Structure 1
Amino acid sequence: MLDAAKQPFSERHALIFRAVIGVLFGLVLAYLQTYTDAHRPEYPIDPAKITQTYIWHQIAFLTVALSAFIYWAGAAAMRRGTLAIWGLISMALIAVIAWTQYQQNPTPYFSPFWGTATFLLYPLLFISHELISSADQARKAIAPYSLYFDEAWKRGVQLCLCILFTLLLWGILWLGASLLGFIGFDWFKKLLEQEYFSFPITGLALGVSVHLSDVQTKLLANVRALILGVLSWLLPVIVLVGLIFTVSLCFSGLEPLWKTKAATATLLGACLGLVLLINAAYQQGDEERPVNVALKIAARIGCGLILIFSVLAAYALSLRIGQYGLTPARIMALTGVIVALLYGIGYAVAAVMPGRWLRLIEPLNIAFAIAKCVIFICVLTPIATPARLSVGDQVARLQSGKVAPDQFDWNLLRFETGIYGTRALDILEASGTTDTIRKKATEAKTMKERYQLTPPSTSVKPSAGQFKIIAPADGVMPETFMAQDFNLEGYDTPQCMKTASKLCQVSLIDLNRDNVPEIVILDDNALRIYIHGVGKWQQQTADFTLTDAQKAAFLKGEARATEPQWDDLMVDDKRLSIDTPQ
């Protein structure tokens, strides 16, 4: 018995094991699904009717569903004893992570599959399984890089093929049910809708497809080679695009990038694409196969681009965190930035090292895989859960006076950070540094609706020091403009009004001949024109982009009002503007 535990399953026994796991786990999932369906409260859901038993059934569903893939993948590769131990550890880890996600956001709509940070669970399981499986096959803690490479890409391709096979199977089954329905037989359709049939048959299909792809090693290798070949030749394309983007930033500056409000996510996506394509081109280096010189050059440049993009992403995120503090979403972004910086620094060093092409990538990939597992486990468990870290940072900003109580995001504590936010509200209610904070904490605790509290204001009144009047020389900013609130989050609000370190260059020009000057603000190379409308200043919708020469003229005070070359045409009550012929 002990000797058997030290050996992997044979091909025949692996098929039986995978089929049994598929059917058995499918039956368990069917039970869990029927239980949650029967005990799910009707909409609108009353949180008081959500029991811990109901939540644990959902957590158990996620645990059983994901751990099945661990057993299927390891059946013919890992020793039986190692597979059993790793399978139990992975199930416990999944359950702890799912429970942590619920503690962060204990809402009636909790779903362990789609939590704020749960998506990190999937790469965590994949990476950790490949590390453990490869180490077990090599019989040492750190396996050769070639084994990691073969196993990881094999499992990735295998996973896609198995899902495709299962979807095709269900397409055929539903086609058969439809054909039978045409002639008056609906028993097959009703059978497919039964959980105790659909879940086991899905599990059986996945288990068998994993085995079929496992034994067809030549076919799987050919598919993998095709995918890697296609991906590798996408590397020069993304590198060229990245170079154009990087050079363009040298001329445009960073402001247009910040205006997108998605700079960090976009840059991290670019880093992920570059890492994937560089590894597709590198594979196991240029010793086992010749590599085209174009791919070698593109890979080296791509390594540098990862460093540039990761540094820009870190800078963009630091500005956001500096302004508004930590939130669960920003901590998730910070996790991505840390990983991207690791790859950026490591790959940049590999690109400039003398000797064999990018040879440092191999130990770096192994080290980064282990580092990612550690980081993901910390973020997904109470060690560094985003909710706890966010609450600590936001409460510190509030207590120190960095954020006024009226500007503070009380909804974050009340509704978005689970037990950590609830505990923080109790502490603020009892020992807040000011009476206002204690009062606001008490109000927040009584809120029943997520947005019953007024969201924190992101508006601000401009200060006189933000503006430099270019023309007229004795001009003064209107008091009504200085007393008005402007939205800091607004995409059309001039950047110089959002950033204290910038100065707004302004000309006061009467553009509609009512003896009241309009406000013309230079925003980078664009003009923002504010007109005093009904009770407040409103920005003119037209967008005037200046050339460098026109910008220089504006800064010299050479902007002036002039009558249009063509009058507008009125048809009934509709005004038609005529474009000036060029």
Structure 2
Amino acid sequence: MTNQQLRPNEALIVRLATGLVFGLAIAWLIKSFDALEGRSIPLWAQVLTSTLMLGAFILWAGAGAMKRLSLAIWSVIALGLIALIAWNRVAHANEGGYNPFFFNLSFLIYPFLFITHELVSSADQSGTPIAPYGLYFDEAWKRGVQLALSVIFTALFWGILWLGAVLLGYIGFSWFKDLLSNEYFSWPISGLAIAASVNLGDVQTKLMHNFRALVLGVLSWLLPVITVIGLLFAVSLCFSGLEPLWKTKAATASLLTACVALVLLINAAYQQGDAERPVHIVLRWSARLACGLLAIFAGLAAYSLYLRIAQYGLTPERVMALVGVVIALLYGLGYAVAAALPRGRWLNPLEPVNIALAFVMAAICFVVLTPIADPYRLSAQSQAERVNSGAVIPEKFDWRVLRFETGSYGLDELKRLSKSGKTDTIRKAAVTALAVTNEDRYLITPYQPPQNRVKPDARRLKVVAPEKALLPTSFLQQDYPDEGYTPQCLTNTDRVCTVVLLDLNGDAKPEIIMRDSNALYIYAEGEKGWEMQGSPLYNSGHEEDFNAGRVTAAKPKWDDLMIGKERLRLRD
């Protein structure tokens, strides 16, 4: 086999053949699953299905870019890597956790394969282990746009097929609908559709280039927007402190999302530097500032995750977050240095940083997707060490994590603790956890730490109606849970709420209607004391009337409808 690039017609044949053959094989596997009638799917069948589903994209993407021999060797290696990753997840996941599309903890296989394929493909085209940055940029963005267009094309293709099935059904013909529901038709035809759309992206180079330019242009001008928002956020933190951010309970995820957006938009603005085309000064300064913001956000995300892991140990989700934090820190450091260097073309150091981080990201994804640093294994070891070392007492330890949320590694750790735990209490608790079946998994209730509670401060509650009314003493003497939906004037010494006392339920006792910023909270007194009854819709247009005490109770226009013991509410 001569190591030459495939001709356009040969690339089309390879792609169509891959779609047809892989589609038929997947259809056969799925039909064989149906015949199992509730029995577990064999390990080899799960691995093969996942390998075929994702391996087809390697052949589709490589057929139009790589040389023949290189494509053959890389396809075998890629299929082997996918099979290894699929085996690791199936063999060590929880019971019933099989998913051929690599959802949940295995989703990193998508960036892993995308990055490694572009590194291999670009190196093959350039003939050097490290290709020029311009080739990496062109190939990666082309492949990303090509993939997006393929998904859109295939979705529209199936939409038209189902429209035809519906129209034929109207006149009494159901054979076409039955055909679309048949795996031996649906999977091969989907493979052919994706193959044809990918090939169209290679043939229509001008269309792809223009579409890519449009996407990059739109994304690049979103960079100044996110930069301004990021600066406002960073400056605001200097005055508010980090406590409001921690209270969101989603600080790490939000900050990492911001990091991803910044990296994407910085590269959309930079593209291949100002040597390729002039770059507006607004984009230049936005990109430099965004590089600094990226480092700040990555650092905050790392600190947030550190606090969580130090307190509760590793879980599979926290390991995945840790992967994101490590990558974000590397990007933040590299981009900050690139922006700070005074010499050379505008942000030119981004190019070697991007190339180096592509290799690093591929390596990190690989070790996390394989037994080397499997999130299940790391989490199981971390949790077992916490309870066995005495960092957390067995009565407060969440045994469900080891039993059900860390795969076979968690079961292995439980078996080890049941035999060699440091104390008799640990050994007995491990034996008890092992005995719990999947059906009874939620009988193991996780330990809930004591909830912080706060008492209202009358100085931070301004009663505006009725005039000269006072808050009930029972309300002020009671303490309330410090949770995300609690009015901040109860927990924040700098916040003041306006209050209206009004009887809303006709019991001749006033309820408390509290306005905190742009939210209303209604408290009513019952047998268990004062409890929040809800938070009705409210907007800033009501603020003037509320502060002036112009609040009254209004009867509904329609009574509720009772059918038996069920109440149906009629809306206005």
Structure 1 residue 10, shift from structure 2 partner: 0.6
Q: Conserved in 1, the CA contact under 8 Å of 2:489 and 2:495?
A: no
Structure 1 residue 76, shift from structure 2 partner: 1.9
Q: What are the within-5 Å matches in structure 2 for residues 496-575 of structure 1? A: 530=479, 543-544=488-489, 572-575=506-509
Q: Conserved in 1, the CA contact under 8 Å of 2:109 and 2:365?
A: yes
Secondary structure of the residue aligned to 2:143 is helix
Secondary structure of the residue aligned to 1:76 is coil
The gaps in structure 2 that reach 5 residues or longer are 460-469, 513-545, 550-572
The counterpart of 1:427, out of the listed 412, 416, 435, is 416
The count of residues paired between Structure 1 and Structure 2 equals: 503
* Deviating more after overlay: 219-228 vs 407-416: 407-416
Secondary structure of the residue aligned to 1:544 is helix
Aligned amino acid, residue 444 of structure 1? A
The counterpart of 1:365, out of the listed 351, 354, 376, is 354
Q: What are the within-5 Å matches in structure 2 for residues 94-173 of structure 1? A: 94-173=82-161
Q: Conserved in 2, the CA contact under 8 Å of 1:270 and 1:309?
A: yes
Structure 1 residue 318, shift from structure 2 partner: 0.4
Partner of 2:30: 33
The counterpart of 1:451, out of the listed 423, 441, 458, is 441
Secondary structure of the residue aligned to 1:346 is helix
Partner of 1:487: 451
Q: Conserved in 1, the CA contact under 8 Å of 2:404 and 2:441?
A: no
Q: Conserved in 2, the CA contact under 8 Å of 1:236 and 1:295?
A: yes
The gaps in structure 1 that reach 5 residues or longer are 42-48, 460-485, 498-503, 520-528, 552-563
Structure 1 residue 219, shift from structure 2 partner: 0.8
The counterpart of 1:7, out of the listed 4, 7, 10, is 4
TM-score relative to the length of structure 2: 0.82
Q: Conserved in 2, the CA contact under 8 Å of 1:271 and 1:310?
A: yes
Q: Please give the alpha-carbon distance, in whole angstroms, between the structure 1 residues aligned to 2:182 and 2:36.
A: 17
Q: 1:234 to 1:541 in 2, by over 3 A?
A: closer
Secondary structure of the residue aligned to 2:393 is coil
Q: Please give the alpha-carbon distance, in whole angstroms, between the structure 2 residues aligned to 1:371 and 1:537.
A: 42
Q: Conserved in 2, the CA contact under 8 Å of 1:131 and 1:148?
A: yes
Q: Please give the alpha-carbon distance, in whole angstroms, between the structure 1 residues aligned to 2:333 and 2:482.
A: 48
2:316 maps to 1:328: yes
Q: Please give the alpha-carbon distance, in whole angstroms, between the structure 1 residues aligned to 2:132 and 2:384.
A: 47
Partner of 1:50: 40
Q: Deviations over 1:10-53 (max 9, x none)?
A: 11111111111111111111111111122251xxxxxxx325x2
Partner of 2:510: 576
Q: 1:570 to 1:78 in 2, by over 3 A?
A: closer
Aligned amino acid, residue 193 of structure 1? S
Aligned amino acid, residue 21 of structure 1? T
Q: 1:567 to 1:254 in 2, by over 3 A?
A: closer
2:293 maps to 1:348: no
The counterpart of 1:406, out of the listed 383, 395, 398, is 395
Q: Please give the alpha-carbon distance, in whole angstroms, between the structure 1 residues aligned to 2:479 and 2:483.
A: 5
Aligned amino acid, residue 245 of structure 1? F
Secondary structure of the residue aligned to 2:395 is coil
Partner of 2:173: 185
* Deviating more after overlay: 227-236 vs 385-394: 385-394
Aligned amino acid, residue 233 of structure 1? W
Q: Deviations over 1:138-161 (max 9, x none)?
A: 011000000000000000000011
Partner of 1:380: 369
Q: Please give the alpha-carbon distance, in whole angstroms, between the structure 2 residues aligned to 1:540 and 1:209.
A: 48
Q: Please give the alpha-carbon distance, in whole angstroms, between the structure 2 residues aligned to 1:385 and 1:95.
A: 15
2:157 maps to 1:175: no
Q: Please give the alpha-carbon distance, in whole angstroms, between the structure 1 residues aligned to 2:110 and 2:303.
A: 28
Structure 1 residue 115, shift from structure 2 partner: 4.1
Aligned amino acid, residue 21 of structure 2? L
Secondary structure of the residue aligned to 1:7 is coil
Q: Please give the alpha-carbon distance, in whole angstroms, between the structure 1 residues aligned to 2:387 and 2:191.
A: 51
Query: RMSD of the TM alignment (CA)?
Result: 2.9
Structure 1 residue 543, shift from structure 2 partner: 4.9
TM-score relative to the length of structure 1: 0.81
Aligned amino acid, residue 33 of structure 1? I
Q: 1:447 to 1:165 in 2, by over 3 A?
A: same
Q: Conserved in 2, the CA contact under 8 Å of 1:100 and 1:382?
A: yes
2:72 maps to 1:90: no
Secondary structure of the residue aligned to 1:117 is helix
Percent identity at matched positions? 53
Q: Please give the alpha-carbon distance, in whole angstroms, between the structure 1 residues aligned to 2:499 and 2:396.
A: 48
Q: Conserved in 2, the CA contact under 8 Å of 1:36 and 1:58?
A: no
Q: 1:505 to 1:216 in 2, by over 3 A?
A: same
* Deviating more after overlay: 60-69 vs 284-293: 60-69
Q: Conserved in 1, the CA contact under 8 Å of 2:305 and 2:322?
A: yes
Q: What are the within-5 Å matches in structure 2 for residues 453-472 of structure 1? A: 453-459=443-449
2:19 maps to 1:22: yes
Q: Please give the alpha-carbon distance, in whole angstroms, between the structure 1 residues aligned to 2:70 and 2:377.
A: 34
Structure 1 residue 542, shift from structure 2 partner: 5.8
Q: 1:50 to 1:292 in 2, by over 3 A?
A: same
* Deviating more after overlay: 176-185 vs 156-165: 176-185
* Deviating more after overlay: 85-94 vs 325-334: 85-94
